[in-house]
Structure 1
């Protein structure tokens, strides 16, 4: 449902993300926007990094960017306690 915290997973990994239900996305399709580095807690990326779900295949030898524009995934409402989100925390500085 709209606003639910959901777990999205496949054989490569699993992420938590918020659900937005809209007529702009075809039924049976999931769109995951990304913007945070992966942060795994017990194998679950609590920052919702889509890279956790896509194949690790570079777009080219020059760019070496992520080539994954699609991945087969499953989705379910997350029923556990929401982990502490660390995407906006300052990184640790080492001298």
Structure 2
């Protein structure tokens, strides 16, 4: 488990070292549901990479997702075990 962070936020993610990725590059696939832990500095426990990227639409007309690149740092996560709650229904449901 690693912590990936930049000035926009931080996420937890599983990590695999691969010869298919250049040294110094982090590849995180998009699509995880956000699961912020408000007791741990707002870290996203589910690895939602959008926490680290700029909210920039593709155009004013389409307003679709633009490709994202972000500078980030990575370290082994040594913090407390956090419970994943992304797939639990909200308390109000």
C-alpha displacement at 1:70, in angstroms? 0.7
CA distance in 2, matches of 1:7, 1:57: 24
CA distance in 1, matches of 2:53, 2:78: 24
Residue aligning to 1:14:
10
C-alpha displacement at 1:55, in angstroms? 0.6
Deviations 1:13-51 (A, max 9, x none): 000000011101010000011222211113101111110
Q: How many residues align?
A: 90
Q: TM-score, normalised by structure 1?
A: 0.82
Mark the runs of 5 or more structure 2 residues left unpaired by the alignment: none
Residue aligning to 1:29:
25
What SS class does the counterpart of residue 20 from structure 2 fall into? coil
Q: TM-score, normalised by structure 2?
A: 0.84
What SS class does the counterpart of residue 86 from structure 1 fall into? coil
Residues 47 and 85 in structure 1, CA contact (< 8 A), matched pair in contact too: yes
Mark the runs of 5 or more structure 1 residues left unpaired by the alignment: none
Taking only aligned residues, the RMSD between alpha carbons, in angstroms, comes to 1.7
Residues 55 and 68 in structure 1, CA contact (< 8 A), matched pair in contact too: no
Residue aligning to 1:65:
64
Residue aligning to 1:53:
52
